[in-house]
Amino acid sequence: MPSSGPQGFMLDMDGTLVDSEPLWQESERHLMAPYGVPWGREEELFTHGRSMQFVTNYMADLVQQSGAPRPDPDSFRSGFEEYMLANVGERGVVQPGVPELLTSIRQTGLPTALVSSSPRPLMEAVLDKIGRDWVGVTVSANDVTEFKPEPEPYLQAARELGVDPAWCVVVEDSPTGLASATAAGAYVVGLELAVTFDPAPRRRLIRTLQGVTATTLMEWFEPPAKA
């Protein structure tokens, strides 16, 4: 039986480690502008944390609803990747407290995964920015067939880590990510930056990662009830 502490960490990327959400929103407005379709706060919140497949299909649907022919969602996909890869390296801002958190996670020696709804090329660009020495497993949108809010991304990461997801701490900032991690059975730390979350068992809600270390996450962790 595991000890009472967590056996691994799994972290979201966009919004959690890097403040890339403004760039995503900027790219969405940029891609919709030629169609004359507005993209505002409602659309941003609806797509927050969703997979590229979900977002690009939603964008194509909005264009069609405006009376124009439905564009190929893949045209949006390639536009996203081009725009984000051109900007995330220089303009993506590492969230406060993240460098210290990642260093402390590495020092624990516990298996750790990065789990993102972003495509693999963008994940690699972010890892180039924040470093790779803290992470052992990476799961991108290219590596799964079902996306957040389904549990598959976190279940896949836990399998690759060799750890029961119920004994992992997940850090997430979106409703879809929180739902995914919760469905996978993990203990979830919800980072309330763009949205707020409802309290729930095995969930802690915070407003910043400043001052949060691996030790903090380990102290917050609650073992699953069946333990």
Residues involved in catalysis: 12, 14
Respond yes or no on whether the N-terminal peptide bond of residue 111 is cis (omega within 30° of 0).
no
Q: Which residues contact 226 (CB under 8 A, 6 or more apart)?
A: 166
> Furthest-apart CA pair in the chain: how many Å?
59
Q: How far apart are CA 74 and CA 105, in angstroms?
A: 37
Q: Which of 200-208's residues contact partners 24+ apart within 8 Å by CB, and which partners?
A: 203/178, 208/96, 208/97
In three-state secondary structure terms, 119 is coil
Strands 8-11 and 168-172: parallel
